Amino acid sequence: MLSKEARKERNSEFWDSFRKEMRKEYSSSGRGIDWINYPTQVKDVYIRMETSSDKAVFCFEIQPKDDGIRAIIYEQMTELRRVLENETGEATWDEYHHVFAGRNVSRISWSKDGLNFYKDEDLPAIKAFFKEKLLAFDAFYQEYKDILIALVE
C-alpha cells in the first residue's frame, strides 16, 4: 500500500505526463485545448477522469445549483444519446448519480474495468482509454455544445 505522499506523487506524475501527451492533440474545432480541464463552456458541467485500483472512468457531470437546469441539461443529453454513443461508445446514464455540496449530480460515464492505477504496466492503457474518450467526446461536443449553452443562457 502506498503512503499518502506516494499516492499524491504518483497522481501528479500521471496527470503531468498525460497533459504533455495530449498537447499534441487538437480539438475537432482545430484549436489547442487543455484536455485535463476540458472547457465545456457551460457553468457547472464538467469532464472528469477517475482512476482506481480496478478501473478507469471518463465522466460527463452535470451539477448546476438549480436542479431544474440540471434536469433540462440531462434531458437534452438523453435526446442526443444515440449520437453521443455512436461517437463515444455505450455509456452508463445516471440522472441522480450522487449529491455533491448539496447539489444533485447527473453523470454520463464510460469505464474500463481491469485497469489498476497502481500498476505501472496499466498506466499506458489508462492513458489510451482517456485519450480515446476525450477525442471522441470532443468530436461530439464541438458539434452539439451550442444547444447546451443555449439551454442555460
What type of residue sits at position 30?
Answer: G
| The predicted structure's pLDDT at residue 100 | 85
| The predicted structure's pLDDT at residue 35 | 94
| The predicted structure's pLDDT at residue 142 | 95
User: How far is Cα 60 from Cα 67, in angstroms, rounded to an integer?
Assistant: 17
| The predicted structure's pLDDT at residue 101 | 84
| The predicted structure's pLDDT at residue 1 | 66
Domains of the chain by start residue, with CATH: 4-152 (3.30.1460)
Instruction: Tell me how far CA of residue 49 lies from CA of 6, 34, 66, 151, in angstroms.
Output: 20, 14, 24, 25
Q: Please state whether the predicted TM-score (pTM) of the whole model is above 0.95.
A: no
Report the candidate in 2, 31, 21, 30 with the shortest Cα–Cα distance to residue 129: 21
| The predicted structure's pLDDT at residue 3 | 87
In the chain, the percentage of residues whose pLDDT exceeds 70 is 99
Query: Which parts of the chain have pLDDT scores under 50?
Result: none
Pairing outcome for strands 103-113 and 92-100: antiparallel
| The predicted structure's pLDDT at residue 153 | 76
